[in-house]
A and B are shown apart, each in its own frame.
Chain A
Amino acid sequence: MNATFERRLTRDWDDPGVIGIDGYCAKGGYEALKNALNMEPAAIIDTVKASGLRGRGGAGFPTGMKWSFVPTNTGKPTYVTVNFDESEPGTCNNRELVERDPHRLLEGTAIAALAIGCRTAFIYVRGEYLAQGVILEEAIGEAYGAGFFGRGIAGSDVDLDIVLHRGAGAYICGEETALLSSLEGFRGQPRLRPPFPAVEGLYASPTVINNVETLMSVPDIVVRGPEWYREMGTEKSPGTKLFTISGKVERPGNYELPLGTPLRVLLEDVAGGVLDGRSLKAWTPGGSSTPLLTAEHIDTPLDYESVAAAGSLLGTGAVMVLDESDCVVDAAQRMTRFYAHESCGKCTPCREGTWWAERVLGRIADGYGKAEDIPVMADMGKHIMFRAFCALADGAASVIDSSLKHFREEFEEHVRLGRCPLREEHVEVASAV
C-alpha cells in the first residue's frame, strides 16, 4: 500500500513478531492497559468519547457513548462481548487484524472491561474462522501467563477473565442480540430492543458488544490521546478504517485509510484499479447489506456521513466491485439467496420475503421473468424494509431496491430478451448445480 499517512491499525503488519506476546510488548503492547489501570473508569470512557471513535461493525455508533450507557450499580455483573462473527459478505478486515496482531484485540478488550467494571469478557468468533480462533487461544494463553488476565491483572487488584466462544455458521449471530442468544446457548435469533444490551444483555446483565476493529483502536487512543486520534479522518468520522476491497479489482485486500478517503483513491491508487482495465459498474460501500452505488459515485468520500449522503451506508467498509461485464441481476439474485439462507425465520416479512425474492430474481436472471416481476420486486422492498426485528431484512431489501434504482433497464432487458443482455446466448445461472 502506498500510504502517505502514519498507519495505525496496520503499523505492525510487516512484523510477524507481534503475533507473540514478547514481540507485542517490545512495541509498547499492554502499556495502554497499564495506563488504564491507573485511570478511573469514567476517565477511560471520557477519553474514548473525546476521540470520537465510532463502532466499526457497521452502525457507526459512538463507542464511548455506548460504554457510558452501562449502569454499574445494578448489583449484576457487567460483560464485554467482542463481536468477531465477521460474516457480512465482502468483509474480512477483522480476520486479518486478528491474524496479524491478536494481542491488540485482547488489550482493547481488557480496557473496555475496565471502563465498565467487567470481570469476565467473551470473544464470539465465527466457527469458519477456525485458524483465527486458534491464534486467539494461543494469545489468550500467553496473556494469562504474562499476568494481563486472571487474578490481579498487571499487578493491580483487578481480576479479569476472557472466554473464547465459537459460533457455528450463522450470519445472524453478528447481530448483537442474536449473538447474545447464541452465547447463552440458544438459537441465534434477535431479541426486541429495548431493553438494549447496555441495560439487559448477556445473562440479562449490562453488556457492551463491540466489533474487533473498534476495540483494536482503543489502546492507541488511551496512550496517545483523543486529539491524536482526531488528526486523521473527518470531524464526525475521525480516525482510520480498514477497508476490504474485493471482486473485480487488480489487488484485492484489506487496506487502512483515513476515513473520508474517496473511493477513487482506494480503487485506483491503492487497489490498482478495476481488473483487466475494465470500467467500474457498481460497488458496495460496506458489504452486501449496503445499497449498491455506481461509477457516478466514485468520488464519494468513504466516511459515515458522505456515504449516507450518496444514498448508501459505510457499513463494514467492504467494497465489492462489479465491472461493466458483470450482470447486476445475477449479483442481486446471489446476494438475495444469501439473505434467504441466513434469515433466522423469526419474522415473517424477512423469512417469506427473502424466499420469494430469491425465486423471482432467479427467474428474471434465467430469462423466464415476466414484465410484472419488476414492479413486484420494486414493491417488495417496502414490505421487508423496517418490518422485521433486525437489520438483516433491511439489508436484503437494500440489495433489491438499490439494484432496481440504478439498473432497472438491465432487469427490463432480461425480461424483454428472455436472457441476460450481457451474454450472447441463454444461460441459466440461478439454477443450482
Chain B
Amino acid sequence: MRRRTRRAAPLALLGVAAMILSACSGGGSGDDPTDGAPADTDAPVTISVGGKPTTENPEQLADFERRLDEFTADHPNITVEAEETLWEADTFQALLAGGTMPTVMQVPFTEIGALIERQQVADITDQIEGSEVLQHLNPTVMDVVTDDSDRIFGVPIAAYTMGLLYNRALFEQAGLDPDAPPQTWEEVRAAAQAIDEATDAQGFGTMTLDNTGGWILTTTSYAFGSTLQSDDGATATIDNPATTEVLEFYRSLRWEDNSMGSNFLLNYDDAVNAFASGQMGMFVQGADNYSNMVVNRGMDPQDFGVAPLPQTDEGLGTLGGGTISIINPTATPEEIAAGLEWIEFRSFQQFTDEEVAVANAEAAAADGLAVGAPGLPVVNAELDAQYLEWIAPVINVPRENYELYLSTVEDIPLIPEPSVKAQELYASLDPVVQAVLTREDADIDQLLTDAQGTVQAALDAG
C-alpha cells in the first residue's frame, strides 16, 4: 500500500503542476483572427449558436430543431452546435474570459455600444457584404451596429422604438378614449390624474433602479428636445433645459398631482409587473412589449395599449431598442461567414420565402405566441409589407388597437443611445430621478450639475 502511494505521489505532483500551468495559460490575449485571407465558405466549419429554446418550451424547441435540421441539410459543410446560452450582463464577461461564448449569440441593443467600444464583438463588415438579405436591412436600425468608421458589428434581428405604454382598460374606467392615447405630455399628465382619481391604479410610473431610471430619463429627454451626450461621445450634455423639463414633469406628477404611486424604487420587472397587472396606467417603455405583457405575464390582449412617445415642439425623436445577433470576437472569417448564414436562415428567411413565413407564423400562433405584434421592422419597408401580407390570415394580435403607433413608427426619428459609456451615464442618472421622486425639495439644477460632472469625469478618464 505504502509503496504504491509513494510511486503515485510524483505523478500527482505532476498533475498539480499541469493544472496550475493550464490555469495560467487561460485568459491570455489572443491574436486578431480576422486578419489574413478571405473566408473560404465551402470549407467544413463548426459553429456554436446560443438562444436554443429550453425544454420548458417544447413547441419552440421543436420548431428550432426543425429549422436547424433544414439548415444543416442546406449547408452540409456547416456543423451547428446549438446551446441555450442567453445574454446576461453578469455572465457575459465570464463567457468571454472562459472562452465559452458561442460563435453566434444575441444581445440587446443597449449593450452593443459598450461591446464595440471594448472590442468584445467581431467585425463582420467584410462577410456581410456577401449576403443578399442582410444588405437590405432597415438603415435606421443598422446605424446601431455601425461604428464611426462604417464598420459593422452585428445583425439586428428584432427592433422596437420606445413608446408610451398604456392600459386600455384603465383608460376606459377613467372615462378616457383608449383609441385616442395622449399625444402631448400635458395630455399624459391629465390622463394620469384621471386614472389616479377613477381607479385604484397609479396614473403614471417610471423605473428608477439598475440604470433604468437613467435610460427612461434619456429617452424622455430626446422627446423633450435634447440628447445627453455629444455625437462624438466626448462631452456629456446632461445639464440641459430639456432634461430639466422632464424632471419638472416628474415632479408635477409626483408632488402636485400625486399620480405616480408611492414606490419609487422600481426596477424593470417591478414596473412591467405593475403595468401588466393593471396597477400602473402608463409608462415609457419599449413598444414591443406585447408578448412580454400578454404571453408572459397574462395581461388581457385587449388591455395592452401602445402610443408613440409624445414629442414637444423641440422633440428630437425616440430611442430605439431590440435584439442583435453578434459573433464571437475570436471567430475566424470562415466561422463569421457560417454564423451569418445561420442568422440569415433563422431570422430573415421569412422575409424572402412565403412558405417559411406562413409556416413560422402558423407554428407560433399554434403555440399561443403573438403573431404580428407591434415593433420596428428590421428589414426595409418593402420587404416588411410583403411579409405582413403573407402572414395576414395568421395574425392574432389586435393590431387595430395600435393604429396611431403603427402609422407613425416610421415618422418619429430613431435616436441611438449615448455612444460612449451609456450604462455609466444611466447609472449616474438613476439617483437624480430617485431624488426628484422621493424628495419634494430636490434641487434639480444641482442634481443635474453634479451628474454632469460625474459623467464628464468618466468620459474624460477614457
Task: Indicate whether A and B interact.
Answer: no
A-to-B contact residues, CB < 8 Å: none
